[in-house]
Amino acid sequence: MHDLLPHISESLSHVFGSIRYFVPEVYLTLLFIIVLITDLIFGKRSAQLCRTIACAGLVLIMFKDLQQIALVVDGEHFIFSNMLLVSRIGIFFKLSIDVLSFVLLLYFTWDNKLNAHQKGLSDLYSITIASILGLHLMVMAVNLLSIYLAIELVSLASYLMVAYRTENAFSTEAGLKYVLFGAASSAIMLYGISLLYGFSGSLDIVFQSSIAQLSKVNPISSSFAVILVLIGIGFKLSFVPVHFWVPDVYQGASTPITAYLSTVPKIAAFALLTNFLPPFMLASSWRGFDIGIILSAVGIVTMIAGNFAAVMQSNVKRMLAYSSIGHTGFALMAVVVLTLQGVSAITYYLLVYSAANIGALALASYFTNETGAEEVEHYRGLGLKYPIASVCFVIILISLTGLPVTAGFTGKLFVFSAVYAVYQQTHNIWLMLLMITGALTTVVSLFYYLKIPLNLFLKRKEMPEISGIKSMNLLILSIIVSFMLILLGIFPDFVLRYL
């Protein structure tokens, strides 16, 4: 017992020394407790108060994120016995998550169907804050145990968010499907983690010593274990073949929840990939399969499956669900090269994609609130009746497609540039196939993204009855998003200078 005392003191000193790098997450934990207690005390009447507290708390947490930058000037830091990693790019990922989550918290009450929920939205705010905490942990996780716990925290919160509208049978069905697919992917990932731990004898898989231990194992076995873990991460990213849940869940969930699930968890999952993959892709001691080839094949299939399936959709949310799968495949291009330029490109691309996707779904909510339109065909002739919203929709869809002069074009250009720079050095055929597929599927995306402008402006029908409830908040949000997409497309340095 006495022999352990020095180690206990050393461990406690390390924990206390790590807390200053963990301040935003501490504040998120406190914010979750405050919002939860507020809900318990005031009940259904607490929705507006919980919303105010959650939004104010997120603003404070953004400020704490910015303060962390000064702590990583001298380089990245491992904290809590190498469980988490604090780095400059990780802080930017967390800041992006917090900014987008702040917008989404405001958006929740602007959707008439979600706002009319009989239980109120106070529970939803506490669930969302818990999810944001999990997303922060995903961005920082570098230990197999912390990776699993972070993903599970986000997954549990996501299940509750999808099935929040319990009076809606479609939403309940979507939540059940999400839980079943999530449980299966979690079990697969946990099995992969157990194999990696058994092979290496350590949960700190990002260190060379662990990779050296894995190199002593049969390459097929170690590669199989890594692939199982990637399947669990891929569930949050929704790349092929773990994408089957996306269309039904995105369509069945409330539109603001769809906006949440299609953006911020993807940012956190890609950040997790950039932490998890380097030892397996860059270390000379790794003897398993070429992970880059596997990810390239997955990226190609994901781009093709997502974009071609989206062409056949008539429901707006379902179409955007398949398009998000296609965008995941495109973003994997930058992960495959895993250079500093590639990480900067994927960070910028995910930020502008998330902003555009939130804008598109906000406009879907706007037209549903105003006219009840949910199918693409329902948008016939609405362009002249709602000119500002329709023009914003066109700008946002142009950005999602990746056409000049929007931020979507600049983001895709950065990704192509990062991949091409590596291709010039290696002449890897898989990188060439990725670039060709990315270019061709961008053309394919025109066929479904332009369906909405086509119906808005070029097709006519009798005007539907207009709702007496005006969704001005959604309209203002869409105008801001459209302006930002054009501004960042022309001046990308506003973001790139901080990467």
pLDDT of amino acid 370: 83
Total structural domains in the chain? 1
Maximum distance among all alpha carbons in the chain? 84
Residue 433 placed within a domain: yes
**Which helix (DSSP H) or strand (DSSP E) does residue 166 occupy?**
none
Looking at the domain assignment, is residue 462 inside a domain?
yes
- Confirm whether 286 is domain-assigned: no
- Identify whether 192 is part of a domain: no
Output phi, psi for 361, to 5 deg. Answer: -75, -30
CB proximity list for 6: less than 8 A, separation 6 or greater: none
What pLDDT score was predicted for residue 61? 94
pTM over 0.75: yes
SS3 of residue 245 by DSSP: coil
Domain span at residue 366?
Answer: 292-499
- Structural contact between residues 151 and 233, judged by C-beta atoms closer than 8 angstroms: yes
Examine residue 172 and state whether it is found in any structural domain, yes or no: no
| Per-position DSSP letters for 347-363, written without gaps between them | HHHHHHHHHHHHHHHHH
Q: Over the range 328-340, which residues count as b (16 or more CB within 10 Å of their CB) and which as e?
A: bbbbbbbbbbbee
SS3 of residue 77 by DSSP: strand
Rounded (to 5) percent helix, strand, coil in the chain: 80, 0, 20
Contact 27, 61 (CB under 8 A): yes
Query: What's the pLDDT at 363?
Result: 92
Q: Would you say residue 258 lies in a domain?
A: no
The answer to whether residue 149 sits within a structural domain is no
pLDDT per residue rounded down to tens, the chain (499 residues): 556 556 666 666 667 777 888 889 999 999 999 999 988 888 767 788 888 999 999 999 999 999 888 888 777 888 888 888 888 899 999 999 999 999 999 998 888 887 777 777 788 899 999 999 999 999 999 889 999 999 999 999 988 888 877 666 777 777 788 888 888 888 999 999 999 888 888 888 777 777 777 878 888 888 888 899 998 888 888 888 888 888 888 888 888 999 999 899 999 999 999 888 888 887 777 777 888 888 999 999 999 999 999 999 888 888 998 999 999 999 999 899 888 888 889 999 999 999 999 999 999 999 888 888 888 888 888 888 888 999 999 999 999 998 888 999 999 999 999 999 999 988 889 999 999 999 999 999 998 998 898 888 877 665 555 554 567 888 999 999 999 999 998 988 888 877 6
In a domain? residue 79: no
Q: What is the 3 state secondary structure string of the chain?
A: CHHHHHHHHHHHHHHHHHHHHCHHHHHHHHHHHHHHHHHHHHHHHHHHHHHHHHHHHHHHHHHHHHHHHHHHCCCCEEECCCCEEECHHHHHHHHHHHHHHHHHHHHHHHCHHHHCCCCCCHHHHHHHHHHHHHHHHHHHECCHHHHHHHHHHHHHHHHHHHCCCCCCHHHHHHHHHHHHHHHHHHHHHHHHHHHHHHHHCCCCCCCHHHHHHHCCCCHHHHHHHHHHHHHHHHHHHCCCCCCCCHHHHHHHCCHHHHHHHCCHHHHHHHHHHHHHCHHHHHCCCCCCCCHHHHHHHHHHHHHHHHHHHHHCCCEHHHHHHHHHHHHHHHHHHHHHHCCHHHHHHHHHHHHHHHHHHHHHHHHHHHHHHHHCCCEHHHHCCHHHHCHHHHHHHHHHHHHHHCCCCCHHHHHHHHHHHHHHHHHHHHCCHHHHHHHHHHHHHHHHHHHHHCHHHHHHHHCCCCCCCCCCCCCHHHHHHHHHHHHHHHHHHHCCHHHHCCC
